[in-house]
Amino acid sequence: MKIRSIQTKVLVALVFCLVLGVGCVIALMQYFTVENSKGLASEAVAGSRKLFAILETREISKMTAVGDALLVNQQVRDAFAAKDRNRLLQVTAPLYPQLKEEGITNWMFHTPEPDMSVFLRLHNPSKFGDHLNRFMDKEVVRTHSIASGNELAKAGFAIRVLRPVYDAKGKLVGYVEFGEELGQFIHTLKNQTGNDFGLLLNKKYINKQYWADSSAVWNRRDNWNDNPQFVIADKTTADDNIIKFQGDLAAVPDEGKVLETYSDGQSHFIRGIFPIRDASGQAVGAMFVLRDISDVYHTMRKTQEILLVVTVLSLVLGIVLLLALLNRFVFKRLNQIIVAATRLVGGDFETEIKIASEDEVGKLEQLFEQFRHIFIDVMKQMTAMQDK
Amino acid sequence: MSQLYELKLRIEEKIKADGLDATEMKGRIGLKSGRLLAFISATTPDDPEAIVKLTQAAKEVLNLDV
């Protein structure tokens, strides 16, 4: 269909611009929503990772301080130096519930090298004499100074502080170890951030029997067979949906990784992960982060809707204004010239065109008026000639 | 009376019969046919081309079948 009217052509062009403009605004808003979601996700992962590191440092400091305080106690040192397990248990057992209240769930004494076996477990006194052979054990033997970090033992994966104990003469009598289960960290993380967390441990670095023992000690279900690559040490939500990971835990970058943004009905979530390293620096697991961004998402959507309505209204108002201006300054005046020209040909010599301004249409009006006067003269002359 | 003049009279009759604005209608027909109706008189010689154009213009503007 061929459009003849300039007014219609302009209208079509403006409507096209309107549609294009609205389309661009929607695309731009979508882009910003995605980018904002990514930003939120990255911030959630990075923030949780930082908080986790802060908690780790804080708890290591706490356990180091507890160790300092304990080793001032002569009774403890003497009982340990005398290898008197029962006496050591007697003098330390009253302290254990207090430490446990502070989150220190693991407390062990180790014999010195070369044997370095577990001499006493306050959290499981009946079990002793076993060799753990962990990285931290070797490290504390090598340096004879405090070793700390995340390490798996029979009672579970925990952040630990292992330090040498000397008698009054300065002779090494063994080592004392405090530990806090990493699993309980995630509840602190949840309390502080509001996010949900799940702690995954790579099976490659965990002894199946250790895991079974650890589960028995803490009255947990042995979930070894739930996932092929990892075990879930703990999580802050009963919903297993938080743990959806198919990749290689060892490949998770140090700064963490945003896995996905997903929606569940009216709720919107982002899921991320950051690695957990043991004392030797190996990425032995990962922390899942699940952040509910529904509030932010709905606020963003609401803002987008308002922006869209404002944009559409502005564009429509702009189009109406432009058409009104074009109509007033161009189309209406052109139409007046057309009407006047038609009537002039029809014999109406009286319809004058009022020159409204000196713009382009005004020049045409002026030209038409000049032409009209010439035309009237010619008509008069011809009529006179006809009359003769 | 020429055919051209007869055509002019029929156009004027039609305009009158339909109660239309005579000046505007004549103007439109004049512009379409390229001929001023005011100058068509009984003595105006017939011009086949002018008759065709005027007939077409009358049809378009007034829907007048001649």
Q: What's the mean per-residue pLDDT of chain A?
A: 88
B24 closest CB neighbour out of A343, A379, A383: A343
Contact B23 A341 (CB under 8 A): no
Cβ atoms of A120 and A108 closer than 8 Å: yes
**Rounded Cα gap, residues B35 and B55, in angstroms:** 11
Q: Any CB–CB contact under 8 A between A337 and chain B?
A: no
Which chain A residues are within 8 Å of B36, Cβ to Cβ? 345
How close A348 comes to chain B (CA, Å)? Answer: 6
- Which chain A residues have a beta carbon less than 8 Å from that of B33? none
pLDDT band at A241 (very low <50, low <70, confident <90, very high): low
For chain A, say whether B41 makes contact (Cβ under 8 Å): yes
B43 touches chain A (CB under 8 A): no
Residue of A336, A343, A345 to mutate, testing the B interface (most B Cβ within 10 Å of its Cβ): A345
pLDDT at A155: 53
Q: What is the mean pLDDT of residues A151-165?
A: 81
The whole-number pLDDT of residue A284 equals 85
Residue owning tokens 């161009």 = A330
Q: How close A356 gets to chain B, by Cα (Å)?
A: 23
- 3-class secondary structure per residue, B34-56: CCCHHHCCCCCCCCHHHHHHHHH
Mutate to test the interface with A, among B23, B43, B44 (most CBs of A within 10 A): B23
pLDDT value at residue A172: 93
List pLDDT tens digits, range A353-380.
888 888 999 999 999 999 999 999 988 8
CA A211 to chain centre: 32
**Chain A interface, mutation test: which of B5, B25, B36, most A Cβ atoms within 10 Å?**
B36
pTM of the entire predicted model: 0.69
Calpha distance B53→B56 (Å, rounded) = 5
A314-364 pLDDT tens trace: 999 999 999 999 999 999 999 999 999 999 999 898 888 888 888 999 999
CB contact, 8 Å: B23 with chain A? yes
Minimum-distance CB partner of A343 among B23, B37, B39: B23
**Nearest chain B CA: its distance from A10 CA (Å):** 26
This complex has an ipTM of: 0.89
Share of residues in chain A with pLDDT > 70 (%): 98
Beta carbons of A259 and A246 less than 8 angstroms apart: no
Q: At what angle do helices A74-81 and A6-71 cross, to 10 degrees?
A: 70
Helix (H, G, I), strand (E, B) or coil at A83: coil
Residues 199-228, chain A, touching B (beta carbon < 8 A) = none
Query: Is residue A131 within 8 Å of A147, Cβ to Cβ?
Result: no
pLDDT at A41 over 80: yes
Is B30's CB within 8 Å of A345's CB?
Answer: yes
Cβ-defined contact of B31 to A342 (cutoff 8 Å): yes
Residue A369 token pair? 């008026």
Chain A residue numbers touching B31 (CB-CB < 8 A): 341-342, 345
Cβ <8 Å between B23 and A386:
no
Interface residue A332 vs chain B (CB under 8 A): no
**Nearest by CB: B30 against A346, A382, A386:** A346
In Å, how far are A35, A172, A311 from A29, measured between CA atoms? 10, 67, 12
Amino acid at A12: V
Q: Per the CB < 8 Å rule, is B24 touching A382?
A: no
Which chain A residues touch B23 with a CB distance below 8 Å?
Answer: 343, 346-348
In this predicted structure, what is the pLDDT of residue A281?
85
Among candidates B13, B8, B12, which has minimal Cα distance to B33?
Answer: B8
